[in-house]
A and B are shown apart, each in its own frame.
Chain A
Amino acid sequence: MAEVAEAAPSTLDPRLTALRRVAIVPALNEQESIARVIDEIRAFDPGLEIVVVDDGSVDRTAAVAEQKGARVVRLPYNLGIGGSVQTGFRYAFDNGFRLAVRLDGDGQHDASELGKLLEPVLNDEADIAVGSRFLAPSAYRSSAPRRAGITILAKTVTMLVGRKVTDPTSGFQALNRHAIALFAADYPHDIPEVEAVLLTHKHRLRMIEVPVEMRERAGGRSSIGSLFAVYYMVKVLLALFVGLFRKNVTPLEDVQ
């Protein structure tokens, strides 16, 4: 297997290298960390096409990413994480990618952990694999209110989908084409991950959580401030309960 490609690490799963695959990296003012994120993705798998979705940055994020040879989709104004990630899914769908991974541009997702995420998707045990910080004892630390918020959301989502969900806000994910097609057609606004769990459930896609390590943010600022966090919690809980009664949007379909 070592001779597959000179640049490709010999440990890469051949089922992975057989697929057209893309890494979606949403980024907002991440000029300090974006280069490293791109390097790390390449180090894991040079065959991953990297799409940086620049959500209206006012710094050199797009320029740095382009210099690094990533494809950069620049949004004309800030759409929020949901709108920018969905742009990545649209790109992936339109360009026929079979597999997508999603990592944040701030460097908190460690690309060397991608293998764990990809495993259940490649085994066809899941349409979406989500990296969870809380599934196994982890070095990850965050503030108490933040943990409390995540716990409330996790309990609520667990109740709604009838399956244990430990880290509903995680944006560290691997997705197959079914999931790409769904999210390209319908993806929640603002901070989408929690609602996306419910959306996945309603569309009967298989979602699996995988224990991963995440890092503290390498640079930039979290998109969630404290007052915004309260608004966000209320918004998400509303979206979750109303979401139960929402009509499903049809996923995009491949035109043969």
Chain B
Amino acid sequence: MTPLAVSIVAAIASVGLLLVVLDLIRRRRLRERYALLWLATGVVLLVLAIWRSGLNTIAAWVGVTGYPPAVLFAVAVLFILLVLLDYSTVISKLADQNTVLAQRIGLLEQRLREATRD
């Protein structure tokens, strides 16, 4: 069985995460598109923290018999990996767009210099 203290700390941490993310959205420092995965992370962790019998059941399914909160960590790690992977795709896209921008700027500047040469 999950120690009660672990459940409480995990629940507080999840709520904290949710509040921070929501506040970042409110202050427009985080776009909704990037907040969604974080919100999902917070909600799932919160559910697993509060729903203690559920966590035990899931732990039994996946063969974790000794210490059910390990499942909580595993789920947290999984979501963090998802968020990181998502960011890698975002960075790749930004890098591609940056390349195109740099190319266009270079070409435009060349044209501008040519046009204003005389």
Q: How far is the CA of A75 from the CA of B99 in the complex (A)?
A: 10
B contacts with A, residue count (CB < 8 A): 9
Segment at the interface with B among A87-95, A146-154, A156-164, A201-209: A87-95
A178 CB–B CB distance under 8 Å: no
Q: Which residue of B lies closest to A77 (CB)?
A: B102
A173 CB–B CB distance under 8 Å: no
Q: How far is the CA of A76 from the CA of B114 in the complex (A)?
A: 17
Say which size band chain A's interface belongs to. 10 to 19
- Cβ A71 vs Cβ B110 within 8 A: yes
Number of interchain pairs (Cβ within 8 Å): 35
* Residue numbers in B under 8 Å from A94 (CB-CB): 107
**B111 → chain A, closest Cβ, in Å?**
9
* Residue numbers in B under 8 Å from A74 (CB-CB): 106, 109-110
A72 CB–B CB distance under 8 Å: yes
Q: How far is the CA of A73 from the CA of B114 in the complex (A)?
A: 11
Chain A 23-54, CB within 8 Å of chain B: the 1/0 string? 00000000000000000000000000000010
A170 CB–B CB distance under 8 Å: no
Q: How far is the CA of A72 from the CA of B114 in the complex (A)?
A: 10
- Chain B residues in contact with chain A, CB under 8 A? 99, 102-103, 105-107, 109-110, 114
* 27 intermolecular pairs with C-beta atoms under 8 Å apart: A53-B106, A71-B110, A71-B114, A72-B110, A73-B107, A73-B109, A73-B110, A74-B106, A74-B109, A74-B110, A75-B102, A75-B105, A75-B106, A76-B102, A76-B105, A77-B102, A79-B99, A79-B102, A83-B102, A86-B103, A87-B103, A87-B106, A87-B107, A90-B103, A91-B107, A91-B110, A189-B99
